[in-house]
Structure 1
C-alpha cells in the first residue's frame, strides 16, 4: 500500500499507533470517516480469540471505541485518509479506489 502511495506521488504520514496510542477522539474520527460498519475496524484474529471476545459484542461505535481504546492491537489496518474520507485499505488495492 505504501508503494502505491509513493508511485502516485501522494504525500502521507504514517501513524505508529502502537507506539503513540490513538486518543478516543482519533478513533471517533476514523469511525466517522470510514463508510464501513464499526465492526469492520476490529481485527478478529488470533489475539481477538485469545482474549475470549465475541464478535457480536463489537458492532456499535461505543463498543468498538471501548475495545480499541483498551486493545489498540485489534484495530484493522491500514486506515488511509484522503481529506475527510477514509478507508480500511485491506487489501491494499482499496487505496486505489480512495485515490481515484
Structure 2
C-alpha cells in the first residue's frame, strides 16, 4: 500500500506516526516538508482531503504565526496558504496520505491508524503510551 507522510524528524508526534506506519509493515514515502514543502495546490488539496479548514491546518504556536499577523481573522485562505509556504514550519504535521484517506495526525499520532490496514500487533509510543494493547486492541 503506498503511503506518504509529511514528516518532521524533530517532532515526537511525527516520529510516532512514522513508527506506526512501519509497525503496520509499510515503508512510506517520507517527505521532510520543512526542506521540501508542497506547492500551494498540493497543500490546499491535502488540507481539504483531511477535512480541515486552512486555519485548522496551521500551527498557531509557531513564532512566524504572530510575527506575520496570521491571527487576523480577516485573512483569506490564500493568504494563510502563502504564509505556510513561505514558512513551512507553519504547516501542521504530520499529514499522512494512503489509499484509505488523508489524516493530519495531530494531536494524536494514533490517528494514522485510520488510514492504514488493520494492525493488531502491540505498539507503544516513544513516551510509553500504549496505542495497541497486548490483545491487539486499539487503545483510545
| TM-score tier (shorter) | 0.7 to 0.9
* Inter-CA distance 73–57: structure 2 relative to 1 (3 Å threshold): farther
Calculate the TM-score normalised by the size of structure 2: 0.60
> Which of the numbers 21, 46, 49 marks the counterpart of 1:33?
49
- Structure 1 runs not aligned, ≥5 long: none
Q: Which has the larger Rg?
A: 2
**Which protein has the bigger helix share?**
1
Q: Which has more strand, going by share of residues?
A: 2
The alpha carbon displacement at 1:84 in A equals 7.1
Q: How many residues align structurally?
A: 99
| Structure 1 residues 83 and 26: CA distance shift in structure 2, 3 A | same
* CA–CA distance in structure 1, aligned partners of residues 43 and 100 of structure 2: 14
Query: What is the match of residue 94 of structure 1?
Result: 111
Given that 2:70 and 2:80 are in contact with CA atoms closer than 8 Å, whether structure 1 keeps it comes out as no
Give RMSD over aligned pairs. 2.1
**Contact persistence 1:31–1:61 (CA under 8 A):** no
Counterpart selection for 1:63 from 74, 79, 94: 79
Tell me, yes or no, if the aligned pair for 1:17 and 1:72 is still in contact at 8 Å: yes
Give unpaired runs (5+ residues) of structure 2. 1-16, 119-140
